[in-house]
Amino acid sequence: MGKQRERFEGRFGRLGAGARTLRINAVPFTLTELMERLGLANQDCRSIDALTVSGRRFVIRYLDAEDQSIVAYEFDPAFRYLGETRVHVAEWTGEENPWTSS
């Protein structure tokens, strides 16, 4: 397992182990609804899972096919962007990351 993947999953849990729906302000949202609400719904992005990091911080994880990255997009209960973590998909496929040099 690559170091970036290890840090990513150490912080957010194993990829795919999160929820398929997330309750925010007592309202349940599907992954599709979250992607739309956050402005992430497009043909190059595929949702994976979502999780609550704390009562005031949430994460949706998705594949950004254009960037070839797995993204953990963090947001608050008002759906405001708080930050993101990106890891190249090669960390999960076992291939070398072509964007970094040895």
Is residue 51 in a domain?
A: yes
Is residue 99 in a domain?
A: no
What integer pLDDT is reported at residue 101 of this predicted model?
Answer: 40
The total number of structural domains in the chain stands at: 1
Q: Quote the domain boundaries for residue 10.
A: 3-93
pTM score, whole prediction = 0.89
- Long-range pairs for 47-51 at CB < 8 Å and ≥24 separation? 48/15, 48/16, 48/18, 49/15, 49/16, 49/17, 49/18, 49/19, 49/20, 50/18, 50/19, 50/20, 50/21, 50/22, 51/12, 51/13, 51/18, 51/19, 51/22
- Is the per-residue pLDDT at 18 higher than 60? yes
Candidates 67, 22, 74, 25; CA nearest to 46 is 67
Q: Which tens digit of pLDDT belongs to each residue from 47-65?
A: 999 999 987 999 999 999 9
Is residue 100 in a domain?
A: no
Is residue 102 in a domain?
A: no
| Confidence band, pLDDT 50/70/90 cuts, at residue 95 | low
CATH number of the domain where residue 50 is located: 3.10.450
